[in-house]
Amino acid sequence: MTISVFDLFSVGIGPSSSHTVGPMRAGNRFVAELCASDVLGSVADIRVDLYGSLAATGAGHGTPTAILLGLEGYAPEEITPDVIAERVSTMTSTGRIALAAELAPASSPAIALTVEDLVMHPATILPFHPNALTLTAFDGAGIELLAQTYYSVGGGFVVTEAQARTAQTNEPGGRAFSSAAELLELCRRDHCAMSDVMARVEGETHSVDDLRARLLHIRDVMVACERRGISQSGTLPGTLGVRRRARGWYERLNAEDPGRRPEFAEDWVNLVALAINEENASGGRVVTAPTNGAAGIVPAVLHYAVHYTASGGADADDTAIRFLLAAGAIGSIYKERASISGAEVGCQGEVGSAASMAAAGLAEILGGSPEQVENAAEIAMEHSLGLTCDPIGGLVQIPCIERNAISAGKAINAARMALRGDGAHRVSLDQVIETMRLTGADMSTKYKETSTGGLAVSVPVNYVEC
C-alpha cells in the first residue's frame, strides 16, 4: 500500500526515529490502551523489556528516557525539548513516573520506575524485527493487567505483535502503487508527475488546502530545526565530546557568501545537513525524513531546490510541496518493499533511502520526466548499497552527521546525472530496492545499529555509555 507522506515526514525528537520516536510512541500507545481498558488506576508496577538493537544501542539513543516519557503519555509530535528536560529532571529526582498523566491526569498513578529499572536483552532478537520492546503492567497484587510487545520498525513506525503478523501475511498492494513500476505506470497513464500521483493519494484523506498547509508545516519544521542547529554551540550530548560545528561554519560561510552565489551552493547544502543532524543528535525537534539519523538529507537538498533552481526562485512554496510529494512517493516504496530501518538493513536503508528520496524530489523540481525522476532515485540508492550502520558509542553522531552532508551531495549529483539522460537506464529502481533489501538481509548484525562492528569498534571509546 502507499504510505502517507505524513508518516514518512513526521515531526519528532532526536536522536533516533527507531530508538527514540518509536519507543516513545510505544509507551504512549500502551498507556492509551490501559486507559481504554479502564485499568489505569489499578496499575502499581510497570516492567519494560528491551530486545536486540534497542537494548544494544538504546542508551546512546535515549531509548529508556523516551519510553518513560511515552508512559507518561507524551507524544513525540508534541513534546518540546524544554518539557523533556523538566520531566527527566523530575523523574530522576523522584524515581517515579506519572503514568499516563498527559492522557488522564485525574487517575494517573505515580509508578516507581527509572531508566535503570529497564531490563536489557541485547542478544535476544524477537521474530519480527531487531527493535522490540515489551511493556507489562501489574496491579498491587502482582497480577498482570496488560502486556504488549511493540516493534519499532524504522522512521518512528511502531507495530504490535498482531499487526506485524498481519503485515507478514498480507501481499503488497492497496492504495495507488507499491512499486516504482506501478508509480511510473500511473504517471504515464495520467500524463502527470510523481508529485501529482502522490497528491492524489493524499487527497483521499486531505483537502487541497489541508495538504498544502501540512506539507508547508513540515518544511517549516525542517527550516526551524536548521536555524536552531545553526544557533547552537558547544558539544553534543554523550561522552564522545563531538563539537557542534554548524554555527561556526555558518558565520564563516555567511561572511564569504552574503549574496548566496551558486559556487557556494554545496557549502550551504552541507551546512543545512550538519545543522539538522547536530540538532537531532542533541535531542532536538526534527522531521523524520524518513528517519532521524538521516533527517538532514531531504531538507538539505530541499534547500538547494528552493534556493538554487528556477522553480524555487519562481515559487518557493510550490517547489517545497512538489519536492516533498515526489520524495514521499519514493520513500513509500522503500518502506513498503524493503526497509528504512538501520537495525534491519544497515545505513543503506536510512541514509540511502533518504538520498534516493531527495534525488527524486530534486529531479522533479529540475523538470525531469517521471522516468528521469525514477532514474535519479535509482542512482542515489545504487551507490549507497552496502552502507553499514556503525555509530561510535551508539550515538547518532559519527559517522551519521557528516554522512548526511555527503549523501545530500550524492542526491544532487544523482538528480543532475539523471537529467543528463533520457530516463532510459539498465537497472530499475525496483531492482535496486530489492538489492538493498537482500544486501541488508545478508549483512552481519554487527553492522545493523548494534555498534559492534565497523567504526564503532575500530575507534575505541574508553567508556560505557549508560
Which range touches ligand SF4 (CB under 6 A), out of 157-165, 216-224, 260-268, 389-397? 389-397
Nearest distance from C-beta of residue 384 to ligand SF4, angstroms:
10
Nearest distance from C-beta of residue 354 to ligand SF4, angstroms:
9
Closest alpha carbon to 226 in 68, 27, 405: 405
Number of residues that bind ligand SF4 (CB under 6 A): 12
With b meaning 16 or more CB within 10 Å and e meaning fewer, what string describes 223-253?
bebbebbbebeeebbbebebebbbbebbeeb
Question: What does the alpha-carbon distance between residue 46 and residue 54 come to, in Å, rounded to a whole number?
Answer: 18
CB-wise, 70 or 154, nearer to ligand SF4? Answer: 154
Which range touches ligand SF4 (CB under 6 A), out of 241-249, 343-351, 419-427, 436-444? 343-351
CB-wise, 269 or 351, nearer to ligand SF4? Answer: 351
Nearest distance from C-beta of residue 427 to ligand SF4, angstroms:
23
Number of helices (H), then strands (E), in the chain: 20, 9
Out of 72, 279, 336, 350, point to the residue binding ligand SF4 (CB under 6 A).
350
Nearest distance from C-beta of residue 68 to ligand SF4, angstroms:
22
281 binds ligand SF4 (CB under 6 A): no
Nearest distance from C-beta of residue 449 to ligand SF4, angstroms:
5
**How many CB atoms sit inside 10 A of residue 194's CB?**
30
Out of 396, 405, 412, 443, point to the residue binding ligand SF4 (CB under 6 A).
396
CB-wise, 211 or 389, nearer to ligand SF4? Answer: 389
449 binds ligand SF4 (CB under 6 A): yes
**How many CB atoms sit inside 10 A of residue 315's CB?**
12
Which range touches ligand SF4 (CB under 6 A), out of 110-118, 221-229, 238-246, 388-396? 388-396
Nearest distance from C-beta of residue 111 to ligand SF4, angstroms:
31
Beta pairing, strands 96-98 & 110-112: antiparallel
CB-wise, 195 or 280, nearer to ligand SF4? Answer: 280
23 binds ligand SF4 (CB under 6 A): no
Q: Which three cell numbers stand for residue 394?
A: 551508539
Question: What does the alpha-carbon distance between residue 276 and residue 287 come to, in Å, rounded to a whole number?
Answer: 9
Nearest distance from C-beta of residue 19 to ligand SF4, angstroms:
8
Which range touches ligand SF4 (CB under 6 A), out of 2-10, 148-156, 392-400, 409-417? 392-400
Out of 389, 411, 419, 436, point to the residue binding ligand SF4 (CB under 6 A).
389
Q: Which three cell numbers stand for residue 304?
A: 538547494
CB-wise, 56 or 359, nearer to ligand SF4? Answer: 56
Which range touches ligand SF4 (CB under 6 A), out of 4-12, 139-147, 185-193, 346-354? 346-354
Nearest distance from C-beta of residue 350 to ligand SF4, angstroms:
4
CB-wise, 26 or 456, nearer to ligand SF4? Answer: 456
Question: What does the alpha-carbon distance between residue 161 and residue 302 come to, in Å, rounded to a whole number?
Answer: 36
Residue that the C-alpha cell 527493535 belongs to: 131
Q: Is 86 exposed, middle or buried (0-12, 13-18, 19+ CB in 10 A)?
A: exposed
Peptide bond into 122 cis (omega under 30): no
CB-wise, 17 or 179, nearer to ligand SF4? Answer: 17
Question: What does the alpha-carbon distance between residue 152 and residue 129 come to, in Å, rounded to a whole number?
Answer: 8
CB-wise, 218 or 355, nearer to ligand SF4? Answer: 355
Q: Catalogue the long-range contacts made by 259-268 (C-beta closer than 8 Å, 24 or more residues apart).
A: 260/307, 262/308, 265/304, 265/307, 265/308, 266/409, 266/412, 268/303, 268/304, 268/307
Q: Which three cell numbers stand for residue 425?
A: 537506464
Nearest distance from C-beta of residue 341 to ligand SF4, angstroms:
8
Question: What does the alpha-carbon distance between residue 461 and residue 463 come to, in Å, rounded to a whole number?
Answer: 6
Site map 284..303 versus ligand SF4, x via CB under 6 A: ---------xx---------
CB-wise, 4 or 384, nearer to ligand SF4? Answer: 384
Q: Is 88 left (phi over 0), alpha (psi -120 to 50) or beta?
A: alpha
342 binds ligand SF4 (CB under 6 A): yes
**How many CB atoms sit inside 10 A of residue 150's CB?**
27
Question: What does the alpha-carbon distance between residue 343 and residue 22 come to, in Å, rounded to a whole number?
Answer: 13
Give me the residues that bind ligand SF4 (CB under 6 A), please. Answer: 293-294, 342, 347, 350-351, 389, 391, 396, 399-400, 449
